Chain A
Amino acid sequence: MELLNERKIEIEPGLKRMILIELVLPTALLVIGIYHGLMQVLYRAGHIHTRKVLGLEYYQGLTLHGVVNAIVFTTFFAVAFGYAVIRFYLGRVNMKIAWLSFTLMIVGTLLAAGAILSGTSSVLYTFYPPLRAHPAFYIGLTLVVVGSWIAFFNWLPVYFSWKREHPGEKVPLAVVGIFAAFIVWLIATIPVAIEIIFMLIPWSFGWVATVNVPLARMLFWFFGHPLVYFWLLPTYVMYYTMLPKVSGGKLFSDFAGRLTFMWLILYSAPVGIHHQFTEPGISSTWKFVHAFFTMLVAVPSFATAFVMAASMELGARERGGNGLMGWWKKLPYLDTQRWLFGYFFCGLFIFIFGGVTGIINASYNLDIVVHNTSWLPAHFHQTVAGPVFLSYIGMTLFLVARLTGKEIKLPRMNVWVPYIWTLGIMIFSTGLFISGASGEPRRTNMGLTYANPDSPLYHADWQTPRMLGVLGGTIMTIAALMFFIVFFATLFARSTRQGALELVVSEPYHDENVRAVQSFTPWLVGAALLLVIAYTPPIVQTLRSNFPGAPPYTPDRPTPINTSNP
């Protein structure tokens, strides 16, 4: 795949090795994460009527699926991709600090994985108290987060020295996007760090007897929604800076990209209570405020959809595509030279549905129809397992192949991966949307009761959508298997040239110069103000209401843990 003429730079062997490990290790873990995704649909459709398969209990496997796929894989990728972007556009980073961040993240992952596999932390990736996980679970997650913070802090001096050496120049768009991602990440992880470090860890060791559950939940969702923009922002970096080029066009508007990134810094956090619409302890007024802000955070995603379509259209029309729909035929859907296109394009397509259902969920009282039903996993698989997952695995394959100087193996198989995945996820989600709209609960071992014809709780009406879930889930697993074959075949192939750091760089079509989006400062001040407005009253309410605290429980016993004998 030499057609794209990407810019390439030789990088230090140490940084190269670190980026490679940070990409390959979570991809290997993903094999386990996706295996349990498949087990999920089988359990839920009633093909499995037991608590555990191959030593892995249902809720334990579900915890693993969420933590590996949504927290470990995404955070490692964001850090590795961040290093690649910063090194590529700005310059050298401090390797000592880089290895410190790397070590913390690896140790944290091992601790959390050990806690889950030992069966003592089946609390799902939302770890709602008063269900209590093993302290190693909380400590492991904290180390992963702190490690990722250190990576970000490591980029700051590089950024400032680049600014000093390039006065008056616009910061490269990809760098703005990566910084936006990690600013959102910092905003998001501070409240959850407070929850974990000051509330859950002392409580899980038995040093404090009880925990304020409404407060812990509010801090969790203060983190939980900006988290999804942390996942999405690296994807948007790829969309704005690479998709136009791989599609054969130019970025329609550079300003749109910058505005999108700044807008997400501003609005991604004061929206968390839209996950808590059906909860007690929060006044409906503040629920409405958060619903309103959520509508505003949808705007940059609409803008992105528009700009991406315009960028692809530019190139397609230059190649002779015409008419209202004719230019769609001129895109490189199955071009093995431009294989990244499919990974980006399919994600955009899936996100149309993920985005629209997100608007539904956030629409205040509309949420009571779908809250905590299987509608929700259908929605977020169309976001995190759509654009985010596809762009992350595509970029992982691209970076690994280029850094090691290898050709993509099985290129014909590779170009089909995103399309088969898309087919699978659309079928899977359709099933879950249908049964979710009629109340089928999420995160439930259906095979024992609601999907078990021998149980008095059996629901025949959810059986057809469940079959769609199995069909879609199986197709997704096949696509993932194809990807793993291509990935590991490429990884273990012989190098054909000197490895280098390469990124695709799109040219802008409109290269606007709008001052308002060229400095982070006003947007950071705005974000801080909005957070104070949106969260001070609900948190004060939670603290002042003086809710009785809750002692810890393990998921398998209906009595609290005896704190003297944990």
Chain B
Amino acid sequence: MTPALKLERRIVIIATAFVLVLFGLAAMAINLFHVGLPTCLTDIKPFQKGELIAHSPTHYELRYVAKMWDFEPKEVTVPAGSTIDIYVSTPDVTHGLILLGTNLNLMVVPGVVNYARVKLDQARNYQLLCHEYCGTGHERMAANLRVVDAATFAAAKSAATPAPVEQGDAMVKLLEAKDCLTCHSVDGSDGIGPTFKGMFGRKTKLKGGSTITADEKYLREAILDPSKTIVDGFDDVMPKPEITDEEVNALIEYLKNLK
């Protein structure tokens, strides 16, 4: 055997060993660092409500509902050092869930619940994003998981006596409950639909060329029968909402004041 051939044979052996070692390390990490992959769970049925459930001061169950195009709950706070069992379910299409800065990376598949456990020791804000294309609003689908130190967490908890709720906050809750904020914002930025901020009384160009002033009559019609008039630059994608007359009145009053 020539020296060159010997060298090449040695390189092939080293390369093979390298791949096997890499694979072995991946396998070892399952036991040593508990970095495994999600498996098949069939005893937990898909759920419709996202919530944080405290099992003990340092053990939480966090149920996420990933839906077009938001996570529920949108914002949760846990104390540092908590172990969190994350379950995620979707009522509509395929989504993804990546918790930036951690090893949590899950697909969210209709019909089946996904699960992983994380332990978060550092007090900071963790952002979670949807990382699977789920439709027009995919790039806005994000939420926050706040980790605060234990003292701050306890203080915030004891201070959480019911504060007087302003009318504005209640309206934002209503808008959230009706899924309006998936497409419309209250901060002035246009999304899939035009922003609510400054909407009332604005001269608005419609698809087809006509211009209207967004008065009470127009807004009521636009809420109850969204396909009838479409604002120029946006698409006819809003479903008819399930909303009572009182809620429509309250919403219009709210829009009047949202300058």
Contacts and interface: CB of A to CB of B under 8 A. Distances in A.
A372 B139 contact: no
A548 B132 contact: no
A372 B98 contact: yes
Interface string A93-129: 0000000000000000000000000000000100011
Given A439-B129, A441-B131, A445-B139, A560 B92 contact: yes
Interface in B62-76: 67-69
B131 A373 contact: yes
A3 B138 CA distance: 54
A127 to B, nearest CB: 11
Interface string A141-155: 000000000000000
B29 interface: yes
B94 A130 contact: yes
- Please classify the interface of chain B as helix (H, G, I), strand (E, B), loop, or mixed, using the class held by over half of its residues: loop
Contact of A365 (B12, B36, B112, B113): B36
B19 A365 contact: no
Given A213-B110, A369-B105, A448-B139, A359 B22 contact: yes
Interface in B96-133: 96, 98, 100-101, 103-107, 109-115, 129-133
A306 B12 contact: yes
B41 interface: yes
Contacts of B67: 558
Contacts of A367: 37
A534 to B, nearest CB: 16
A449 B15 contact: no
A558 B92 contact: yes
A368 B142 CA distance: 19
B85 to A, nearest CB: 14
A457 B140 contact: yes
A292 to B, nearest CB: 8
A545 B179 CA distance: 31
Nearest to A554: B135
Nearest to B46: A548
A283 B41 CA distance: 8
Interface centre among B26, B142, B235 (most CB of A within 10 A): B26
Interface in A279-299: 279-285, 287-288, 291-292, 295, 298
A212 interface: yes
Contact of B135 (A131, A285, A359, A547): A131
A222 to B, nearest CB: 16
Given A213-B110, A363-B22, A545-B40, A372 B131 contact: yes
A304 interface: no
Nearest to A59: B133
A450 B129 CA distance: 10
B116 to A, nearest CB: 9
Given A441-B131, A444-B138, A444-B139, A284 B110 contact: no
A338 B16 CA distance: 34
B23 A295 contact: yes
B93 interface: yes
Contacts of A450: 139
Interface residues of A, number: 68
A367 B137 CA distance: 26
Contacts of B138: 59, 443-445
B36 A284 contact: yes
Contacts of A438: 100
A276 interface: yes
Nearest to B7: A324
A276 B107 contact: yes
Interface string A427-444: 000000000001101111
Interface string A538-566: 00010001011110011111111000000
A278 interface: yes
Contacts of B239: 557-559
A273 B96 CA distance: 17
A282 to B, nearest CB: 6
A130 B92 contact: yes
A443 B107 CA distance: 15
B139 A446 contact: yes
Nearest to A298: B19
B134 to A, nearest CB: 8
B156 interface: no
Given A550-B111, A559-B239, A368 B133 contact: no
B46 to A, nearest CB: 7
B133 A124 contact: yes
A555 B107 contact: no
Contacts of A282: 39-40
Contacts of A59: 133, 136, 138
A548 B42 CA distance: 12
B4 to A, nearest CB: 9
B140 A448 contact: yes
Contacts of B69: 558
Interface centre among B96, B110, B136, B182 (most CB of A within 10 A): B110
A557 B189 contact: no
A278 B97 CA distance: 10
A434 to B, nearest CB: 14
Interface centre among A279, A367, A559 (most CB of B within 10 A): A279
A455 interface: yes
Contact of A280 (B8, B30, B114): B114
B98 A441 contact: yes
Contacts of A545: 40, 42, 112
B126 to A, nearest CB: 11
A561 B30 CA distance: 42
A214 interface: yes
A225 to B, nearest CB: 16
Interface in B17-71: 19, 22-23, 26-27, 29-30, 35-42, 46, 67-69
Contacts of A306: 8, 12
Nearest to A277: B37
Contact of B109 (A214, A277, A372, A549): A214
18 contacts: A59-B138, A129-B94, A214-B111, A214-B112, A278-B37, A278-B106, A279-B38, A280-B40, A281-B112, A284-B37, A359-B22, A368-B103, A372-B131, A439-B98, A444-B133, A550-B110, A550-B111, A558-B68
Interface of B: 8, 12, 15, 19, 22-23, 26-27, 29-30, 35-42, 46, 67-69, 92-94, 96, 98, 100-101, 103-107, 109-115, 129-140, 142, 179, 182, 189, 192, 235, 237, 239
